[in-house]
A and B are shown apart, each in its own frame.
Chain A
Amino acid sequence: MTAVPTLLAIIVASFFLMRVAPGGPFDGERPLSPETQAALQIAYGLDKPLWEQAWLYLSRLAQGDFGPSLVYRDFTVTELVAQGLPLSLMLGGLAIILALFVGISVGLFAAVKAGKTADKAMMIMATVATALPTFVTGPALALFFGLWLGLLPVSGAGEGLSWLLMPVVALALPVSGAIAKLTRAGLATVLKQDHIRTARARGLPEIKILFKHGLRPALVPVASYLGPAAASLLTGAVVVETVFGLPGLGRYFVQGALNRDYPLVLGVVTLYAALIILFNLFSDLIYGWLDPRMREE
């Protein structure tokens, strides 16, 4: 259970890092008068000692208050995050479901056809899919299906669900490739193990051996990949939201980063860290279900 201290350490470290950083959000193109500077400092509490600011920040955070945004002057970070989070979660959630479904199916199919042409073709496709960065597939998809074929909307969250299709596919592609490879490799290892021979010696049909005795242990590597997959989806979402002009968390993050909006960036990083840590815990639970030996720990 290192989750909570880890999260706390990230928040504190990021907070102090930001405050020692040179430059600030008020270094605009037009230099502000010293009076205005001072007034702004006081208004945002930047004049107090650092440790007091940190404590204030943490205690507000405990109540779900991420503080005011320095760039979007009329909004608090909490409001911005609350606006962006649902869309990002939906994108990420749909992408991981799609990736798991496609990845495991392809991996299973390839393992059943092990050594045959279908297996090799599937694995080549999976390898290429893993190497498809979202910032290449995203624009390419938009160009094909949006601009040339005119089938799908290129930008923004419109009516219906068709606008979700391309972002989700672009996000899910590399992850599904990785899952397909892990499933295939996991099955190849497990199907050689002794307990499969025991099941075969009982005269069970191959399909039952595969699903009842083989699949669960073979998915252990997939489960341990879920944590990194979540991280990769979140980073991918940043790109996809930028490319398709979707108002999600990632877009705010990039804007915040480019404009040095400390509270916004810090808020989003905290949230991302929490999400990833949550996902790692979740993947530990799945671990235990897949292989009871891991429950003892």
Chain B
Amino acid sequence: MKVLLQRSHWPLWIILLLIILALILPTILPWTYDQVDWDAVRAPAFSGTHIFGTDEIGRDRLARLAAGTRVTLMVAIAAALVSLFVGIAWGATAGWVGGKVDEAMMRFVDALYALPFMFIVILLMVIFGRSILLVFIGIGLIEWLTMARVVRGQVMALKQRPFILAAEAAGTPSLRIILTHILPNIAGVALAYLMLTVPQVVMVESFLSFLGLGVQEPLTSLGILVKEGADDMDMTPLGLFLPGGLLVVILVCLTVEGERLRDIYS
């Protein structure tokens, strides 16, 4: 953990700062994200108590940004964690058991990989109605595949390492070998891919919300804010640039941090 305090991990600090802001701002701002200020429709930045101004129906931009970031990151982290657990369970099982079981499990992953997942998620949304839970499930369905492949590859490689064979010769039971030898050795890589999964999920969630198929009003997310901003951009370009810029900053930071961790651990 101490490593994360080094200067090269600045992207992580930015993300943490944004999370803290997204959590604190709604409690100290005078406006909530869905409150309409009838006196200030499309107010410019720094007018009165609206630091970033208001949107086309008079809602405070900063409050909406904080709320949107919160929802987007929440969905992203939760879905990434789901993909982490499913991916590790699937990948570690396939890698450890090996043989035909591994073959079958990985063929399944390969087949799923070839699917146009985004469209199937949309299909699910169409069929079962749009709920934030479904957004989770849909995204989780897509994102565990890479994690499973990576973990399986790592376990396969580790299994051949002599120290695992030595542990077996030392009479250490299989489950304990997995817990004390295998998992600690794949933790770094898994963490890196977890970090890389989060921006993927952010992208998917925002995409769905942008099309009106993801998070539904009155809840808001960065994707919805971008959509609203794009619809009104000829009047107030700030409405597009703020959520769009924030989204890009989040994506860049997560990607850079994830790739750095991946390069360290693999």
A: residues with CB less than 8 A from B are: 2-3, 6, 9-10, 14, 17-18, 20-23, 127-128, 130-133, 135-136, 138-140, 142-143, 147, 227, 231, 234-235, 238-239, 242-243, 253-254, 257-258, 260, 265-266, 268-269, 272-273, 275-277, 280
Contact = CB atoms under 8 A, between A and B. Distances in A.
A204 to B, nearest CB: 30
A231 B207 CA distance: 14
Contacts of B248: 128, 131-133, 136
B199 interface: yes
Contacts of A231: 116-118
B166 interface: no
Contact of A136 (B114, B120, B247): B247
A276 B123 contact: no
The prevalent SS among residues of A at the interface is: helix
B255 A276 contact: no
Given A139-B229, A140-B241, A269 B251 contact: no
Given A128-B248, A277-B114, 17 more contacts: A6-B111, A14-B120, A20-B127, A127-B255, A127-B256, A133-B207, A135-B206, A135-B227, A136-B240, A136-B248, A235-B116, A239-B210, A243-B230, A257-B122, A265-B122, A269-B119, A269-B123
A2 B111 contact: yes
Question: Which of under 10, 10 to 19, 20 to 34, or 35 or more describes the interface residues of B?
Answer: 35 or more
A273 B117 CA distance: 9
Contacts of B212: 258
Nearest to A3: B114
Given A2-B107, A14-B120, A257-B213, A127 B207 contact: no
Interface string B199-243: 100010011001111000000000100110110011001001100
A6 B114 contact: yes
Given A2-B107, A127-B252, A130-B255, A10 B115 contact: yes
Select the residue from B119, B127, B255 with max chain A CB neighbours within 10 A: B119
B240 to A, nearest CB: 6
A268 B120 CA distance: 11
B116 A234 contact: yes
Contacts of B199: 131
Nearest to A21: B127
A243 B233 CA distance: 12
Contacts of B256: 127
Interface of B: 107, 110-111, 113-120, 122-129, 199, 203, 206-207, 210-213, 223, 226-227, 229-230, 233-234, 237, 240-241, 244, 247-248, 251-252, 255-256, 259
9 contacts: A17-B123, A135-B207, A135-B226, A143-B237, A234-B119, A235-B207, A239-B210, A257-B125, A277-B114
A6 B111 CA distance: 7
Contact of B211 (A23, A254, A266, A269): A254
Nearest to A259: B126
Nearest to A134: B207
B45 to A, nearest CB: 17
A134 B55 CA distance: 22
Contacts of B213: 254, 257-258
Given A128-B252, A131-B252, A143-B240, A136 B123 contact: no
B114 A135 contact: no
